[in-house]
Amino acid sequence: MPREGERIPTQLAVTTARGGERWDRRFGDEGFVTEQDAGDDGRLHERFGRVELRLDLRAAGGTLRFEPAGAVFRVGRHAVPIPGWLAPRVSGGVSAEGDRARVEVEVRAPLVGLVVRYSGSIALSEALA
């Protein structure tokens, strides 16, 4: 996970991968990569390592919100549910700000607390290039 700080130079590269997308985030010199795809359950699935989060997407007040809807531990093609009291939780959203997108993300783990929180805006032309 990236170190705590403000105004850290950030880069995002989104590429196609295994029927979904690979999100490669750089916070200064540190990276954080996840893979995302549309699950058969109608939810967004986001994986990092063997953990896969299930997220509901909801539009509200001009913002696309993503809300926790469960998590699994991946072992090959098998998905072992992680009990809610033990599962990491991601929440946040994205909204338009002219030619930019405003992003806010927070990740918490029940036994750890806040894992990472970031917010900021990204130029859409850069994100789509």
Per-residue model confidence as pLDDT tens digits over 27-46: 888 888 999 999 999 999 99
Provide the number of structural domains found in the chain.
1
In a domain, 2, yes or no: no
Query: What is the extent of the structural domain holding 42?
Result: 10-128
* pLDDT value for 104: 93
- Kindly report the number of other CB atoms within 10 A of residue 87's CB atom: 20
Q: Say whether pLDDT at 66 is over 50.
A: yes
pLDDT band at 126 (very low <50, low <70, confident <90, very high): low
Q: Examine residue 5 and state whether it is found in any structural domain, yes or no.
A: no
26 within some domain: yes
Q: Is residue 4 part of a domain?
A: no
**What is the band of 7 on the pLDDT scale with cuts at 50, 70, 90?**
confident
